Structure 1
Amino acid sequence: MDLPTEAIGSIPRSETLMQAQRQYDAGQIDAAAMNAFYDEAVQQTIRELENTGSRIITDGEQRKTHSFATYSVEGGKNFAPDGLEIPFSDGHVRRLPRLTAGPFRYALSAAETLPMAKQYTQLPMKQAIISVSALSLFYPSEAIAGYSREAFLDDLIDEQEKEIRGCFAAGAQKVQIDFTEGRLALKLDPSGSVLNSFIELNNRVLARLTDAERQSIGIHTCPGADHDATHSADVDYAELLPSLFELNAGSFYIAMAAEADPERGLKIVARYLKPWQRAFIGVIDVNNPDIETPEEVCARIMQAARYIPLEQLGTTDDCGFSPFCDDISTSRATAFAKIKARVEGTAMAVEQLASQNGVLHG
C-alpha cells in the first residue's frame, strides 16, 4: 500500500489572474468577466496538479479572492479593514478585517467553489477552509453593541459546520482546516491561554461531526508562508504540538522541512500523535526557491519513518504556495516542480521502506 501524499492547498496565481483581480477591485471589469478568469485559472491549476502525479488535488484556492484567510467575508458589508495586524519576519504586515456589526455570515463558502472545480477532474479532491479560530480574530477587542462575542462565536461555529458539511456533500474526499494561527497564538500569548481557547473553539465545530467525518478532517499547522517570510517560526514546536493533537481530527499536516531541528520536531510528533491520527509531515520548504530533488524528499521521509509508525505517516508541503493573491515570490513553475518532487520522492521512499520492512502498511 502507498504512503499518502497531499498538497496543502494554495498555488501561486498567474499574472493574468492577479491583473484581473486588480481590475475587478478597481471596478474595471464585472463579476462575469472575473468568473471567467477564475474558471481558466482553476482549469490550468488542476491540469498542472494532475501532471505532477498527485492522486488527490485541490483547486489551488484560485477563487479565494485575496487570501486563504479572508475569502469567507470579502465583500461583507459589516467589516472594516483595520483589524488585527500580523507581522512577518521580513518586516511586512498583513491586516485582518474587523467585524463592525452582527450577525456574522459567510459571504463565500468553500463548499460553493468545490463543484466549480470538480467538473475539471476525475481525481479525488480535498478542500481547504479557514479555521473558526482564525475567523474569531475578526471580532474587535471592544464589544460590538447588540452583538456579544458569545453570540458571534455561536454564529461562527454554525457557519463553519455548514461549510464543512457542504464540502462533503459536494464530493470532497477530505476537508482541511487551516490552523496557521496555532503557532502564532503562542507568540501573541506565551502563556498558552489563547492557544487553548483556539483548540476548544475548533473542537466545538468538530464535536458536531460523526466519527467518520472527523477521520476525513485534516488540520494544517505552519509558521506562515507569505513573500518567503513567516510569522511564527521562532515559536518552539514543543509549545504547540502537545495541544495540537487534542483537536478531534484524523489527519494533521505539519510543516517540518524548514524547521531548524526537524528530528526534534518529529520526536515530539511521535510522542503526542494519537493512535487514530495520521501525521502528514512537511518535506517541501515552500519559502526556499531551490527545488528539492526526489532524493532529498526521500531522505526526509526516511528520517520521519524512524519515529512515526508507517501506518500513521504521510507527506505534504510545509505550507500552501503563495496563499495571498499578491505574493509573487514563488512562481507557478517552481510550485509544481516542488510538488512533483514530493510525489516522486514519496514513491521512492515507499520502495525503500517496502524493501526494509517487507510490506508497507499505510
Structure 2
Amino acid sequence: MSITLTKAPFRADQVGSLLRPENLHKARKEFKEGNITAEQLREVETQEIKRIVDKQIEIGLEAVTDGEFRRTWFHLDFLEHLNGIEGYVPDHGYKFEGLETEKYDVRNIGKVSFNPDHPFIQDFIELNEIVDGRAVTKIAIPSPNQLFNSGIHNPAIYPDIEEYANDIIQTYQDALKVFYDAGARYIQLDDVYIAGLSSPEIPFNNGKYSRDYLIDLALRVANGVLENKPEDLVVTTHLCRGNYQSTWAFEGSYDLIAPTLLAKEKVDGFFLEYDDERSGDFKPLEYIPTGGAHVILGVVTSKNGELEDKEAIKARVQEASQYVPLEQLGLSTQCGFASTHHGNKLTEEEQWIKLKFIVDVAKEIWE
C-alpha cells in the first residue's frame, strides 16, 4: 500500500481512545483469571478494532485509531516496554478530583533506550492493515516528557537530569523512526506533564528544580525528539489535565507555558483542552505563530454524554480565531473517551454521536 503525505491534523479530528465494549472487558477479565489465552484475548481485541475502524470511517473521520483497545492505560503500557523502565504497583494511585486511580505506575530502573521489539510496533502494523488506506492511521503514544512525572526518574541511575533528558530524546527519536519505517505518518504525543507545568498548584520534583527550568527542559526534550523527523511525518501534541472515569487531575490555563511551549514547540499541531472553565480563556493562543502549528480546539467534552449546542461551539471557534487564524484551527473533544480501560461515564452510542457532531460542525465551519 502506498503512503502519501497527510493533511493532518484534520479540521475534525480525535484524540484517540474509545470506550471499551463489554465483551472486551469480559475477555480481559477471563484472561486475567487464566480462563482464555493471550491469543484468544488478542482475537477479541482485533475483532473489536475492526468494528470501530469501520465505524470511525462511516461517521466521516479522516484519521482513525484502534481506540487503544490493546492498552490498559494511555501511557503506562507504552512506557513500561522501554528499556530501563518497568511497571510496578505503588502504595497509591494517581490523585484525581474526588477519587484515587487504580494503583499502577512506572519507574526508571536502568539506562533508558527504545526497544525495537516494542509491542506497539506490531499493534500499529496490524491496525494499518485493517485501515487499508481508507483513512489515515493515527497512533497516540505518551509524550517523552511523561517520563519526568514525579517518582519515575531515578537519581541513582541518572544523577544529572540533563543526561536523563538526553537519553529520553534518543529513545523517542529511535521510536519515531521505527514507527515511520512501519508506515506511520501521523503520531500524537499525549502530554499531561506539560499541561501540569501550567498549573500553579502542582509542585514538581519536590522543588529541586524551578518551574521555569522544567518548562525550558520540556521544550528542549520535545524539540530534540523532533530534530530528525521526516518531513512527511505529522507529529502533534495533546495537552491534558487528566481524564479518569470522567474526573480530572488539576486545573489552570495555558498562561505559564504559552510563551515557551506553545510559541516554540516544533510540532505540527496542538490538541488543547477547552471544554470547561478549568482551562482558562483562549488568550494564550496568541503565542501560536501565524502559519505555524495548527490548534485543534477541544471544546466538545468527552467526560459526559450531553451533546453540546452547535451554535455555541461555532461561537467558541470564532472566539479562538481572534488569536489564531481560522484556517489554522480544528475541532475535537478535549481528550479521549477512555484514557484508561475503565472509560468515561457515557454510552458508546453517545460517544459516536459526539464524534459525528464534530465532523458535521467542522464541515459547516470550514466548508
2:175 paired with 1:163: yes
Q: Percent identity?
A: 19
Question: What residue in structure 1 maps to residue 269 of structure 2?
Answer: 251
* 1:354 corresponding residue in structure 2: none
Q: Matched residues in 2 for 1:275 and 1:344: separation?
A: 25
Q: Does 1:308 align with 2:324?
A: yes
| Corresponding letter in the other structure for 1:188 | P
- The counterpart of 1:220, out of the listed 231, 238, 254, is 238
What is residue 299 of structure 1 aligned with on the other side?
A: 315
The Cα of 1:339 is off from its aligned counterpart by: 0.6
**What residue in structure 1 maps to residue 348 of structure 2?**
332
Distance 1:345 1:100 in 2: 47
Deviations 1:321-349 (A, max 9, x none): 11101235232222111111111111112
**Alpha carbons of structure 1 residues 84 and 151: separation in structure 2 relative to 1, 3 Å:** farther
Structure 1 residue runs of 5 or longer lacking an equivalent are: 352-362
Question: Measured at CA, do residues 142 and 303 of structure 1 come closer, stay the same or move farther in structure 2, by a change above 3 Å?
Answer: closer
Which of 43, 57, 77 is the matching residue for 1:71? 77
| Cross-structure match for 2:122 | 112
* Aligned with 2:297 (options 260, 271, 281): 281
Cα drift, residue 29 of structure 1: 2.1
Deviation at 1:279, TM superposition (A): 0.9
Letter in 2 for 1:219: T
The amino acid across from 1:310 in the alignment is L
What does residue 15 of structure 2 align with?
8
Counting matched residue pairs gives 345
Q: Which residue of 2 aligns with 1:31?
A: 38
Gaps of 5+ in 2: 1-6, 205-209
Shift in CA distance, 90/321, structure 1 to aligned 2, threshold 3 Å: same
- Tell me the TM-score normalized by structure 1: 0.84
Structure 1 residues 135-150: aligned runs within 5 Å? 135-137=147-149, 140=152, 142-144=154-156
Q: Which amino acid aligns with 1:114?
A: F
Secondary structure (helix, strand or coil) at the match of 2:257 reads: helix
Cα distance between partner residues in 2 of 1:35 and 1:3 = 30
For residue 166 of structure 1, give the secondary structure of its aligned residue in structure 2: helix
Q: In structure 2, give the amino acid aligned to 1:112.
A: Q
The Cα RMSD (Å) is 3.0
Instruction: Please report how far the alpha carbon of residue 238 of structure 1 lies from its aligned counterpart in structure 2 after TM superposition.
Output: 1.0
- Contact conserved, 2:337 with 2:343, CA < 8 A, in 1? no
Quickly say closer, same or farther: Cα 1:260–1:35, change in 2 above 3 A: closer
Structure 1 counterpart of 2:255:
238
Contact 1:100 / 1:144 at 8 angstroms: preserved in 2?
A: no
| Structure 2 CA distance for partners of 1:163 and 1:138, relative to 1, 3 Å | farther
User: How far, CA to CA, are the matches of 2:289 and 2:307 in structure 1?
Assistant: 30
1:38-53 counterparts in 2 under 5 A?
38-53=45-60
Greater shift, 90-99 or 331-340, is seen at 90-99
Once residues 327 and 319 of structure 2 are traced to their aligned partners in structure 1, the CA distance between those partners, rounded to angstroms, is 15
Q: Is the 8 A contact 2:86 2:106 kept in 1?
A: no
Q: TM-score, normalised by structure 2?
A: 0.83
